[in-house]
Amino acid sequence: MLTLRKSADRGYADHGWLKSHHSFSFADYHDPRHMGVGNLRVINDDRIAPGTGFGTHGHRDMEIVSYVLAGALAHRDSMGNGEAGAAGRGRADGVILPGDVQRMSAGTGVMHSEFNHDAEHTTHFLQIWILPRQRGIAPGYEQKRFDAPAKRGRLALIASEDGREGSVTIHADASLRAGLFDGDERAELALDPQRLTYVHLVRGRLEANDQPLAGGDALTLAGESRLVLARGADAEVLVFDLAPNG
């Protein structure tokens, strides 16, 4: 079964410094029909104005993945990531650029901030929350880079529970793939019909199992055994494999 969610049907918030589209219920946007898919709880398509950002705030018991599309996102947290000189101590410097994937396991609790320090350009990124397999784990942080060639015409694994294929490790029964498709580029992925697959088209145009998608559209697949992505036009896509019971 295929279920389409159009971009225009998402929630929207304009805070001046932040403009955000919510794929699922979040903050002041509440729709009981869209509370998440499986154990995927949040996809916020955020644009942060120059020189602004999220002040220090807390999270717990959530796997949070940040995927930057344009600009830069400066991250600092109570684990020490983003501190001056942190990179020199072998710890992540906390600056996330297009092509980077950041994973933060909130676990027992973490405080962090996210800023766009550029004085002229907007930062555009996706904020993704997935329910962890287990509550109360130790907080953690990881950041890896997946350049465009690694995603060109294929679905590169960027997050998984076991960190395979060089992906970041999320403590959740889920995986996340990213791909870039244009023209004749095509990818096919075998699916477990007992699980859920969620296709989120970040930008461009693409067909998923012959369903046309435009930027911001999403497609949930249930009971399906394969996913075919084809006929892309400057398309960037994320594909989630999810536990059916969140």
pLDDT of amino acid 91: 39
In residues, how long is the chain?
Answer: 246
Residue 84 has pLDDT above 70, yes or no: no
- The DSSP 8-state label assigned to residue 225 in this structure reads S
In degrees and rounded to multiples of 5, residue 69 shows phi and psi of: -105, -35
pLDDT of amino acid 128: 97
**% of the chain beyond a pLDDT of 70:** 95
3-class state of residue 127 by DSSP: strand
pLDDT of amino acid 181: 98
137/201 Cα distance (integer angstroms): 31
25/13 Cα distance (integer angstroms): 12
202/229 Cα distance (integer angstroms): 14
Closest CA to 130 of 73, 176, 192, 75: 176
Average pLDDT over all residues of the chain = 92
93/176 Cα distance (integer angstroms): 23
pLDDT of amino acid 87: 40
Tens-place pLDDT, residues 176-192: 999 999 999 999 999 99
216/238 Cα distance (integer angstroms): 11
pLDDT of amino acid 83: 60
Tens-place pLDDT, residues 231-240: 999 999 999 9
Joined together, the tokens standing for residue 69 give 């599309």
pLDDT of amino acid 82: 79
pLDDT band at 85 (very low <50, low <70, confident <90, very high): very low
Pair type for strands 40-48 and 18-22: antiparallel
Residue 76 has pLDDT above 60, yes or no: yes
Fold exhibited by the domain 2-242? Jelly Rolls (2.60.120)
Mean pLDDT within 97-108? 93
pLDDT of amino acid 51: 93
201/232 Cα distance (integer angstroms): 10
Pair type for strands 63-70 and 123-130: antiparallel
The answer to whether 199 and 227 have CB atoms below 8 angstroms apart is yes
Number of helical (H) and strand (E) elements in the chain, helices listed first = 1, 20
Tens-place pLDDT, residues 193-231: 999 999 999 999 999 999 999 999 999 999 999 999 999
145/156 Cα distance (integer angstroms): 12
Residue 95 has pLDDT above 50, yes or no: yes
Q: Is the pTM of this model over 0.85?
A: yes
